[in-house]
Structure 1
Amino acid sequence: MKKDKKDKKKDKKKDKSKDKSKSKSKDVSKASNKRAGDAGDSPKKKRVKTEEPQEHIWKWWEEEALEAGTKWRTLEHRGPVLAPEYVPLPKHVRFYYDGKPMDLAEAAEEVAGFYARMLDHEYTSMEQFNKNFFKDWRKEMTPSEKETITDLKKCDFRRIGEYYKEETEKRKAMTKEQKQALKAEQDAITAEYGFCVVDGHKQKIANFRVEPPGLFRGRGQHPKMGKLKKRIRAEDIIINIGKKANVPKPPIGRWKEVRHDNTVSWLASWTENIMGNVKYVMLNPSSKAKSMKDFQKYEKARELKKHVDLIRKNYTEDFSAREMAIRQRAVALYFIDRLALRAGNEKDEEQADTVGCCSLRLEHIKLSVETVDEEYMVEFDFLGKDSIRYQNKVQVEKKVFKNINLFMEGKAPQDDLFDRLTTTSLNKYLNECMDGLTAKVFRTYNASKTLQDELDKRTDFKMTVEEKMLAYNRANRAVAVLCNHQRAPPKTHDKQMENLETKISDKEKQLKEVKKELKQAKKDKDEKAKEKFKKKVQTIENQLHKLEIQRKDKSENKTIALGTSKLNYLDPRITVAWCKKYEVSIDKVYNKTQREKFLWAIDMATPDFRF
Structure 2
Amino acid sequence: MLYNGRPIDLTPEEEEIATMFAVMKDTDYATKPVFVKNFWEDWKKVLGPKHVIQKLELCDFTPIFDWHAAEKEKKKQMSAEEKKQLKEEKAKAEERYAWVLIDGVGNFRVEPPGLFRGRGEHPKMGKLKRRIFPEDIVLNIGKEAPVPECPLPGHKWKEVRHDNTVTWLAFWNDPINVKEFKYVFLHQSSSLKGKSDEEKYDKARKLTSKIDSIRESYTKDFKEKDVEARQIAVATYLIDRLALRAGNEKDDDEADTVGCCSLKVEHVSLSPPNSLEFDFLGKDSIRYQNSVVVNEEVYDAIHDFKKGKKEGVDLFDRLDTSKLNAHLKKYMQGLTAKVFRTYNASYTLETQLKETLGATLNEKTAEYSRANKEVAILCNHQRTVSKGHSAQMERLEAKIAELKTLREELATDLGKVKKGKPPVHSTAKRPPTAEQLEKKLAQTDARIAKMTLDLSVKEDLKTVALGTSKINYMDPRITVAWCKRHEIPIEKVFNKSLLAKFAWAMNVEPNFRFCEADGGADEDP
TM bucket normalised to smaller:
0.7 to 0.9
**Paired residue total:** 500
* Pair 1:169–1:546, CA change in 2 (3 A): closer
Q: Judging changes above 3 Å, is the alpha-carbon distance between structure 1 residues 516 and 196 closer, same or farther for their aligned structure 2 residues?
A: same
Match of 1:413 in 2: 311
1:397-446 Cα distance to aligned partner (Å, 9 max, x none): 22121221222211223322222221211111111111111111101101
Between the two structures, name the one with larger relative contact order (CA 8 Å, sep ≥ 6): 2
- Percentage of pairs with the same residue: 49
Residue 386 (structure 2) aligns with? 490
Q: 1:551 to 1:224 in 2, by over 3 A?
A: closer
Q: In the superposition, relative to structure 1, how do residues 595 and 325 fare at CA in structure 2: closer, same or farther (>3 Å)? A: same
Question: Could you say which residue in structure 1 is the equivalent of 2:502?
Answer: 598
Q: Calculate the TM-score normalised by the size of structure 1.
A: 0.74
Alignment of 1:423-442 (within 5 A): 423-442=321-340
| Cα offset, 1:214, TM superposition | 3.1
Higher mean C-alpha displacement, 391-400 vs 118-127: 118-127
Q: Greater shift after overlay, 229-238 or 303-312?
A: 229-238
Question: C-alpha deviations, 1:310-342, integer Å up to 9, x for none?
Answer: 110011111111112222222221111111111
The SS at the match of 2:100 is: strand
For residues 56 and 365 of structure 2, the distance between their equivalents in structure 1, rounded to whole angstroms, comes to 55
Letter in 2 for 1:334: Y
Q: 1:104/1:505 Cα in 2 relative to 1: closer, same or farther (>3 Å)?
A: closer
Instruction: Name the SS of the counterpart of 1:391 in structure 2.
Output: strand
| Cα distance in 1 for residues equivalent to 2:11 and 2:217 | 66
The 3 A distance-change label for structure 1 pair 272 and 376 is closer
Query: Which of 103, 107, 130 is the equivalent residue of 1:230?
Result: 130
Correspondence 1:263 to 2:165: yes
Indicate the SS of the match to 1:341: coil
State the Cα distance separating 1:542 from its structure 2 match.
3.5
* Equivalent residue runs for 1:426-465 within 5 Å: 426-459=324-357, 463-465=359-361
Match of 1:380 in 2: 278
Partner amino acid, structure 2, of 1:487: R
| Corresponding position of 1:211 | 111
The Cα of 1:349 is off from its aligned counterpart by 0.9
Give the SS at the match of 1:267.
strand
1:345 aligns with 2:258: no
Deviations 1:432-463 (A, max 9, x none): 11111111110110110111111112347xx2
**What is the CA–CA distance in structure 2 between the aligned matches of 1:138 and 1:496, rounded to whole Å?**
41
Corresponding residue SS for 1:431: helix
Alpha-carbon contact 1:355-1:382 (below 8 Å) kept: yes
Partner Cα distance (2:21, 2:394) in 1: 39
Report how far residue 152 of structure 1 moved: 3.9
CA distance in 1, matches of 2:190, 2:253: 34
Structure 2 match to 1:246? 146
Structure 2 residue aligned with 1:571: 475
1:552 is matched with 456
Could you say if the C-alpha distance between residues 115 and 478 of structure 1 is closer, same or farther in structure 2, counting changes exceeding 3 Å? closer
Uncovered stretches (5+) of structure 1, i.e. residues with no partner: 1-93, 370-374
1:134 to 1:504, Cα distance in 2 relative to 1, 3 A: closer
Any conservation in 1 of the 2:113–2:130 contact (CA below 8 Å)? yes
Tell whether 2:362 aligns with 1:466: yes
Instruction: Supply the distance in 2 between the matched residues of 1:443 and 1:127 (Cα, whole angstroms).
Output: 35
CA offset at residue 309 of structure 1? 0.5
Question: Which residue in the other structure is 2:523 paired with?
Answer: none
Range with bigger deviation, 419-428 or 245-254: 245-254
Residues 10-21 of structure 1 mapped to structure 2, 5 A cutoff: none
Larger C-alpha radius of gyration, 1 or 2?
1
**Offset, 1:570:** 0.5
Amino acid at match of 2:191: K
| Matched ranges for 1:21-100 at <5 A | 96=3
Q: Per the alignment, do residues 408 and 151 of structure 1 end up closer, same or farther by CA in structure 2, a change over 3 Å counting? A: same
Aligned pairs for 1:176-191 within 5 A: 176=79, 178-191=82-95
- 1:365-406 CA-to-partner distances (Å, cap 9, x unmatched) read 22223xxxxx52212111111111111112112212122122
The more displaced of 502-511 and 575-584 is 502-511
1:577, CA displacement in angstroms? 0.4
Shift, 1:464, TM fit: 2.0
Contact 1:112 1:157 (C-alpha < 8 Å) held by counterparts: no
Whether 1:280 aligns to 2:165 is no
Shift of 1:608: 1.0
Are residues 171 and 210 of structure 1, via their aligned partners in 2, closer, same or farther at CA, if it must alter by over 3 Å?
farther
Using the TM superposition, name which of 311-320 and 251-260 deviates more: 251-260
How well do the aligned residues superpose, as a CA RMSD in angstroms? 3.1
Q: Distance in 2 between matches of 1:491 and 1:103?
A: 35
Deviation string 1:226-259 (CA, Å, 9 cap, x unpaired) is: 4443322222222222233332211312222222
Q: Compute the displacement of 1:166 (Å).
A: 5.7
Using the TM superposition, give the Cα deviation of residue 475 of structure 1 relative to its aligned residue in structure 2, in angstroms. 1.4
The CA distance in 2 between the partners of 1:425 and 1:218, in whole Å, is 30
Q: Report the TM-score when normalising by structure 2.
A: 0.85
Letter in 2 for 1:266: W
Q: 1:179 to 1:307 in 2, by over 3 A?
A: same
Q: Distance in 2 between matches of 1:213 and 1:259?
A: 26
Kept after mapping to 2: 8 A contact 1:219/1:352:
no
Specify which of 281, 284, 296 is matched with residue 398 of structure 1: 296
Q: Which residue of 2 aligns with 1:364?
A: 267
- Seen in structure 2, the aligned counterparts of structure 1 residues 518 and 244 have a Cα distance that, compared at 3 Å, is same
Structure 2: gaps of 5 or more residues: 422-431, 515-525
Tell me if the contact between 1:119 and 1:161 (Cα under 8 Å) persists in the aligned partners: no
CA shift digits 1:199-239 (9 cap, x unpaired) = 3x5x2x33222222333344444444444433222222222
